[in-house]
Structure 1
Amino acid sequence: MKKIILLTLLFAYSFAYSWNSFSQEIATDSTKKQTLAPDSVALDTTWRITGAANFTFSNVGLNNWVGGGQSAIAVGTISNLKLKRETEKSIWVTQFLLQFGMARNGKSSLNLFKKTDDNLQIQSQWGYKLSKKWNLAGSFQFRSQMANGYLYIRDSEGKEQRDKLLSRIFAPAYLQTGVGIAFDSKYFSMKYAPLASKTTLVWEDSLSAVGAFGVEAGKRSRQEICTNLDLAFQYSPMENVQFSTKLGIFGNYQTLTQLDVNWETLLTFKVNKYLSTSFSTQLLYDHDVLIPQDDGSQKRAIQFKHVLNLNVGYAF
């Protein structure tokens, strides 16, 4: 607990110092612009906002189809928003990500809509520039999901029913803070935080009672002092094609041989201003999470997800 309090105070001091510097920069921006020579180029210190909202839909309808198969319907959305402000001495980036999808396979009278994608993330990083590409950084990340997740069973009539609750909003949720050093270039970025904290929240009594997601049975949260490494790469191999990948490695100082991994990739093909196709993957391994198996047992395992979408949306 003392370590957690110390880390919290250190991060609060770092953030307060950063905010003070940030406020001073805002106050002096207009003065600097007035004193620049006529042929000088001032750095644009206003907030730059970019983002995109995409929606997907697919439907397969089969009636007396001798080749076999099942009717299916699926809907989804992917939305992101990025806010960035850069001055001569600092850079501040905040990002919001929302992903959600649902699908139903087979007859509507027998099968339920089940979620296929559910991701809510908020990330913010403030950096003090040491050079053009290196900076001292403090970061915050929140990650959870929005809808309930269940195991499903069928009743005596073959109808699908919800069985065991697996997750809900804030069960789990993850809060991470860190202080360290960051590198940023056109294609590659890196952030290493030797001093970081991770809080796992399980605000659902039925899940916390059994110690789900690594919390102690009966507890609603778990705190860890850790080290964290984030690597990112993005590249456009050709016009209208964009590839990006992110790798996050998390290590608890008490169990450094048991690393948690989050690896995401995204390949996007832009058709025109409103249409695009994307293929994404995510690999997760959390040593503290036990995965339910078909035989009713639980064990540690690699989680993997892939999503192929035809998107209709708009970017700004």
Structure 2
Amino acid sequence: MKTFLCVLIFWGSLSPLLAQDSTVVTNFKDTVSVKPDTSYWQRSFSGGVNFNQASFSNWTGGGVNSVALGAVVAARALYTKANWSWDNTADLQLGFVTQNGLTRKAADQIMLNSVAGYKISPKIDWFGSATFSSFFATGYRYSGLATGQSSFKVSNFLAPGQLTLAWGVAYKPSDWFALRLSPFAPRFTFLSDQGVRFSENAAGIPVRNPNAIAYGVAPGKSIRTEWLAFQLQASLIRNLSENVNINARYLMYANYKTLDAIDHRIDLILTAKVNRYLSTTFGVIALFDKDFIDVWQLQQTLAIGLVYNVSSFRKK
């Protein structure tokens, strides 16, 4: 956990250095501050709130009263000056559904990515990056439980959480696409809640087990470090038309010690703007990580709701 805090503090300390370009002119007794030139920044923000409700009274066809509320945020800030660039993205999701007085999580994601690059040719950069992922809220399993159990905790904020630092070379033919190769990409997996450790008995029923490995973190530990690994990142963020935007990312992570257990992650958010205030959002997260489970994990969301979009990206 100390490593995680040190990395965050270091990351945050870079912000004021890269976020502004201010100069001070001294003329003997007079000191004049020149306003920062913010033209090097391009920013975009897309945020939406989705609400669904259904109620029944004496309805012979049957049904369950329900309320669903969700929020999606996709933000980006890109700094470019001379040969330097600094690209920051945030993809956040959180949603809940309530049926018959029971509230369950319907969507949950924290994905933050920051990449600093130096151009060595028109389309090639040297780069360093930091990627963080976790959940906002506690996650539960609701099926295949022991008699009398209605829920079983399996995740929480920073349980797991992953921070990957990577260095390498990037191919960037445009501002909206990048392919990054990192031969050195250490990853830190955090487990702040030891209460998510469990194992399954012969009947496949989960039982709490403090000695079980959770998300690759050994018993009695709160962090796992993988130093020698290769990472590939591909990202595409673009307006397909005036009203349709795609935000897609692919990530492959290969620990050199366990090349038979390569991790894959695909994130896709497709937003179609109906009018100034309404939009339709389709999201998919596909994840394969043997430290979590031996099969592909899939999360899919589709919603219509209020949206707010703003962008200062220059049209080309």
Query: TM-score w.r.t. structure 2 length?
Result: 0.77
The Cα shift of 1:47 comes to 2.9
Q: Residue 201 in 1 paired to residue 190 in 2?
A: yes
Contact 2:21 2:38 in 1 (8 A): no
The Cα shift of 1:28 comes to 8.2
Match in the other structure for 2:222: 220
Q: What do residues 89-141 of structure 1 show as CA deviations (whole Å, max 9, x unaligned)? A: 10001222321000023x22xxx111111111221110001122211000001
Of 71, 92, 100, the match for 2:65: 71
Distance 2:177 2:83 in 1: 21
Q: Residue 167 in 1 paired to residue 167 in 2?
A: no
1:206 is paired with a residue whose SS is helix
Match in the other structure for 2:132: 142
What amino acid is aligned across from residue 150 of structure 1 in structure 2? Y
Query: Aligned ranges for residues 1-316 of structure 1 at < 5 Å?
Result: 26=21, 45-105=39-99, 107-108=100-101, 112-152=102-142, 163-186=151-174, 188-207=177-196, 209=210, 210-224=212-226, 225-234=228-237, 236-290=239-293, 300-316=294-310
Distance 1:239 1:71 in 2: 37
Gapped runs of 5+ residues in structure 2?
26-36, 198-209, 311-316
Report the identity percentage: 27
What amino acid is aligned across from residue 133 of structure 2 in structure 1? R
- Which stretch has the larger CA shift, 237-246 or 94-103? 237-246
Contact 1:149 1:168 in 2 (8 A): yes
The Cα shift of 1:312 comes to 0.5
Contact 1:45 1:87 in 2 (8 A): no
Match in the other structure for 2:28: none
- Paired positions, count: 270
Gapped runs of 5+ residues in structure 1?
6-10, 31-42, 291-299
Query: TM-score w.r.t. structure 1 length?
Result: 0.77
Contact 2:135 2:156 in 1 (8 A): yes
The Cα shift of 1:249 comes to 0.7
The Cα shift of 1:313 comes to 2.2
Match in the other structure for 1:39: none
Contact 1:211 1:219 in 2 (8 A): no
Q: Do the aligned partners of residues 62 and 185 (structure 1) sit closer, same or farther apart at CA in structure 2, a change above 3 Å counting?
A: farther
The Cα shift of 1:45 comes to 4.8
Distance 2:178 2:230 in 1: 17
Match in the other structure for 2:207: none
1:276 is paired with a residue whose SS is strand
Contact 2:246 2:270 in 1 (8 A): yes
